[in-house]
Amino acid sequence: MEYTAKQFTPQLEQHIHTVERSMQECLISIYEQYKEAFKKKGVQLSINVIRERENPFHPGYHSTIHVGILEKDEFLDGLFIPIWHCVRTFLGIRSSKKLPGSKITGELMEETEEEITKEVVSDLEMQLED
Q: What is the mean pLDDT of the chain?
A: 93
Whole-angstrom Cα Rg for the chain? 17
Whole-model pTM: value is 0.86
pLDDT higher than 80, residue 113:
yes
CA gap 130, 125 in Å, rounded: 9
The pLDDT score that the predictor gives to residue 71 is 86
Predicted local distance difference test score (pLDDT) of residue 97: 85
Strand partners, 15: none
Residue scoring higher pLDDT (70 or 56): 56
Q: How confident is the model at residue 19 (pLDDT cuts 50, 70, 90)?
A: very high
For CA atoms 53, 56, 58, 64, give the dihedral sign: positive
DSSP-assigned beta bridge partners for residue 49 = 65
Residue 93 has pLDDT above 90, yes or no: no
Name the burial class of residue 45, with classes exposed (0-12), middle (13-18) and buried (19+) by CB atoms within 10 angstroms of its CB. buried
pLDDT at 77 over 80: no
- Confidence (pLDDT) at 21: 95
Angle, CA 41 vertex, CA 46 and CA 30 arms, to 5°: 40
Average pLDDT for 2-18: 96
Range with lowest mean pLDDT among 12-16, 26-30, 72-76, 114-118: 72-76
Amino acid 76: pLDDT: 79
